[in-house]
Amino acid sequence: MIRSIMVIIINYKVCDQGRGCPCIAACPNDAWYWDEKNQRPAVNNSKCNDCGICTKVCPARVISGALDEEGVRKIKDEVDADDRKRELLFKERFNVEPEDQSIVVDASTFEDEVLKSKDIVIVDFWTPKFSARCKNNTMMYSSLLAKTNKKVVFKKVDILMNKDFCKKIGITTIPALVIYHKGKIIDYIATKIGLAEEDQIKERIAKALNSI
């Protein structure tokens, strides 16, 4: 028998499954939690009191609330019929391409690929565990260079997979974009990296690159 209060259903087919899911923080009853086993946000419906906040907080609108069994069935049918794929929605949601693994470096390759590189290297310290945007190439890298004609290579380092190494080189928070040239740090941009910040970050990067 379904309770008369809301039952929350997450469409995992298109949920970004980020550890930083804002619904976890927004739920006033701690019904949302991070499911370690399945590595995704989840809801304990027995704690839900039908406030509806999470359905509004999720920017991707993948959460539905049902008030009765018929509603639950209807939502489950809709989820089953949904043939969209999360990866394909990244571009639509964030105007970025899905992550390209070839640019990911770690503690063992950092020296060769970043510090010893003859090119200017911009390293995006991130982790795919936190949020959908982190799973992407975030802002379009090529667009970051709009105000300079310098040749630049982009790399990414997952801070959770390289915790000790990142601590050693002074990276303790993300997001952080660090510009390296011949083993030296030219600029360290520790800021939110979203489309709203794009112009500001482009200016900063152009200034740093043009100083080389």
List residues near ligand SF4 by CB under 6 A: 6, 8, 10, 15-18, 21-23, 26-27, 29, 31-32, 41, 43, 48-54, 58, 60, 62-63, 132
| C-alpha separations of 118 from 98, 111, 115, 137, 151 in Å | 27, 12, 9, 23, 10
Beta bridge pairs of residue 35: 40
What value, to the nearest 5°, has the Cα angle with vertex 187 and ends 186 and 192?
A: 160
- Determine the distance from the C-alpha atom of residue 42 to the mean position of all C-alpha atoms in its chain, rounded to a whole number: 17
User: Which one, of 133, 119, 123, 113, lies nearest residue 190 by Cα?
Assistant: 123
Shortest distance in whole angstroms from residue 175 CB to ligand SF4: 17
Which of 69, 112 has the CB closer to ligand SF4? Answer: 69
Q: Which is nearer to ligand SF4, 93 or 150 (CB)?
A: 93
Question: Environment class of residue 209 by beta-carbon count within 10 Å: exposed (0-12), middle (13-18) or buried (19+)?
Answer: buried
Nearest-approach distance from CB 1 to ligand SF4, in angstroms: 19
Between 4 and 102, CB nearer to ligand SF4: 4
Shortest CB 138 distance to ligand SF4, Å: 16
Query: In the complex, what is the shortest distance from the CB of residue 172 to ligand SF4, in angstroms, rounded to a whole number?
Result: 24
Nearer to ligand SF4 by Cβ, of 63 and 166: the residue is 63
Strand 7-10 relative to strand 32-35: parallel, antiparallel, unpaired? unpaired
Q: Could you tell me the smallest distance in angstroms from the CB atom of residue 16 to ligand SF4?
A: 4
At 107 the three-state DSSP class reads coil
* Contact assessment for residue 125 and residue 175, using Cβ atoms and an 8 Å cutoff: yes
By C-beta, is 135 or 181 nearer to ligand SF4? Answer: 135
Task: Answer yes or no: are the C-beta atoms of 10 and 41 closer than 8 Å.
Answer: yes
What is the Cα–Cα distance from 93 to 63, expressed in whole angstroms?
Answer: 16
Cβ proximity to ligand SF4: between 29 and 200 the closer is 29
Q: How far is the CB of 28 from ligand SF4 (least distance, A)?
A: 6
